[in-house]
Structure 1
């Protein structure tokens, strides 16, 4: 083996070894998590490998259909997951709003009781398939004039979710209260649950702070 090959191998090996030692974090969630994940990835770029499930995790029904695919066979060290915004969203087939949202005439995707039941099933699947540290992130703020969601439902759905997580000794990152202030400062208005880029960056700080306690 010539000197150039030896030098190349020596330079590659430490990088490969270092990468293997980094914890692997899987984030499963809706568009809110999609918004803050790039900031989380950037923050942990030298400390951990951060992935997000492909696409939008939507509601717990979608989760039950795809959770095993998202988990794959990777040896995850941390799995952070959230559902809720889609579960509590009211829809009606005749609605002209985006996503057929209609909280006056529609029905929720899942009732709070069904949401809890679906979370129970999801937790069972995740625990059966992975030994990762699990973190549940609560649902973020819903502004009063959002056409498909009631502001008051968020706390109700968060309460049932937290009850399920406590039952299974799963860590809870409760970002609901701070998300209110972040949305009021950096949200997309009183009809939209989403955030500006600055808003997602602020949300990411809540995620990063909690993940730092587990890595």
Structure 2
């Protein structure tokens, strides 16, 4: 086996869960969310609720948040914890009997490692706890959406001096966490991903959190989603919600703060009441209204919520134009996905025109940027569509130079400056991305990186060739065809590109689109 493959095997396991997507959030369904304090906070539940209400209106499925702070699937607690951590198995069957859900969404793991170094016995108890959860839910004839643990972000506590080394004499706890705890949680996440065939839908929320942090810190080194590495803010909840939506086929319309705020008040109101209604063992937990009163109050809120959601619907579903606008696919035609940066955006409309009546040409509604962004968002881009051809590229953002403090397009080789994704890191990410894309069953084509012309700020002439050479090795290993756009354009940059700029003129974009369309036609045949 190639040595590079050995180095990235764990990364591949973390990235390539075969998200066996099914539509589970459908009208008439009752969905109960169980989990720890991240679930209890509830924002990701509210984000999902907003998308479903935009899609289904009054017929949207009912979402009930039953997350409980401190909870796990093992009942294990670190010694300094002020009370025994609650175990979901104390209340799970009771909750299912009382609430009679059609679907359960579960997310556990971050507490079950009890913020300590890896321990085989604890790991076995986590495995047993997750398997028991699956069994209990399925015995009640409920569908199960099982999430991996979220990632642990060491940076906030590292900067606050609250991480402990493995050989410390102190007791590990949620307020003084083992400095290698993310590796523990990554292993727990890897285990959960092996259970994809045992549940209705498996959702990876670990990698989207992990790589969103890495990607954002390329330009904002102080960026964090939490103050403790665990309790993510709204941005973290948005990442979780998008991951669940992508795996379950929920259409993602976007965020609307007025509607979200009103819905979130409703989520929190009912959360506290449902917790009390089901019952639990956790002390120091606020009491909610009696459930009957809370349901009446929630119903009173619904009129204003419906108005806010209708406003959000008009805004988020308003017709859009341009290459990033979603398209309505034509029934019976193959589905093609373009993934790439602004060069790809530039040729998207031309490719659609060239393939009109031949294929539905989709793309993410974003500049897909560097390869590390794909590590965070690839599942969201893929969604649940069965793709016939995926034409993708990363490189131009990877090789650009960033300043020591995240400044964009910095002086190459300047003091403290570095490429956004160094070559070794780029290759590792491409390995994982290639495996994930091949696992979809689509015909996959890699479009290599276009040349860097003289005078282009923040990039070095010749680096595109270096990155392409490395990418070619990866693609050969995975038997992925290469759309060689570098060779196609290198001898006519003056005719196709803007002066001292990596971007193409309109004529250049048309030139590129014809080649991409030709490659896709061949891939479809």
Give the TM-score band, short-chain normalised. Answer: 0.7 to 0.9
Q: Give the structure 1 partner of residue 523 of structure 2.
A: 214
Q: Is the 8 A contact 2:435 2:478 kept in 1?
A: no
Q: Give the structure 2 partner of residue 29 of structure 1.
A: 340
Q: CA deviation at 1:91?
A: 1.1
1:73 matches 2:384? yes
1:193 matches 2:502? yes
Q: Give the structure 1 partner of residue 514 of structure 2.
A: 205
Match of 1:180 among 486, 490, 494: 490
Between the aligned partners of 2:453 and 2:409, the Cα distance in structure 1 is: 18
1:54 matches 2:362? no
What secondary structure is seen at the aligned counterpart in 2 of 1:61?
helix
Q: Give the structure 2 partner of residue 101 of structure 1.
A: 410
What secondary structure is seen at the aligned counterpart in 2 of 1:214?
helix
Between the aligned partners of 2:436 and 2:406, the Cα distance in structure 1 is: 35
What secondary structure is seen at the aligned counterpart in 2 of 1:47?
coil
Between the aligned partners of 1:50 and 1:182, the Cα distance in structure 2 is: 27
Between the aligned partners of 2:351 and 2:492, the Cα distance in structure 1 is: 17
Structure 1 residue runs without a partner (length 5+): 1-17
How many pairs does the alignment contain?
194
Q: Deviations over 1:23-78 (max 9, x none)?
A: 10000000000000100001111111001112101000101000000000001100
Q: Is the 8 A contact 1:182 1:202 kept in 2?
A: no
What secondary structure is seen at the aligned counterpart in 2 of 1:142?
coil
Q: CA deviation at 1:152?
A: 1.1
Q: Deviations over 1:132-153 (max 9, x none)?
A: 1100000001012112111111
Q: CA deviation at 1:85?
A: 0.3
Q: Is the 8 A contact 2:399 2:419 kept in 1?
A: yes
Q: Deviations over 1:67-123 (max 9, x none)?
A: 000000001100010000000111115697xx3432141210112111111000111
Structure 2 residue runs without a partner (length 5+): 1-328
Q: Deviations over 1:158-180 (max 9, x none)?
A: 01101100100111111102222
1:151 matches 2:461? yes
Q: Is the 8 A contact 2:410 2:458 kept in 1?
A: yes
Q: Is the 8 A contact 1:27 1:80 kept in 2?
A: yes
Between the aligned partners of 1:95 and 1:101, the Cα distance in structure 2 is: 9
Q: CA deviation at 1:183?
A: 2.7
Match of 1:119 among 430, 433, 442: 430
Q: Give the structure 2 partner of residue 168 of structure 1.
A: 478
Q: Give the structure 2 partner of residue 142 of structure 1.
A: 452
Between the aligned partners of 1:67 and 1:182, the Cα distance in structure 2 is: 33
Q: Is the 8 A contact 1:187 1:199 kept in 2?
A: yes
Q: Give the structure 1 partner of residue 129 of structure 2.
A: none
Q: Give the structure 2 partner of residue 133 of structure 1.
A: 443
Of 41-50 and 101-110, deviating more is: 101-110
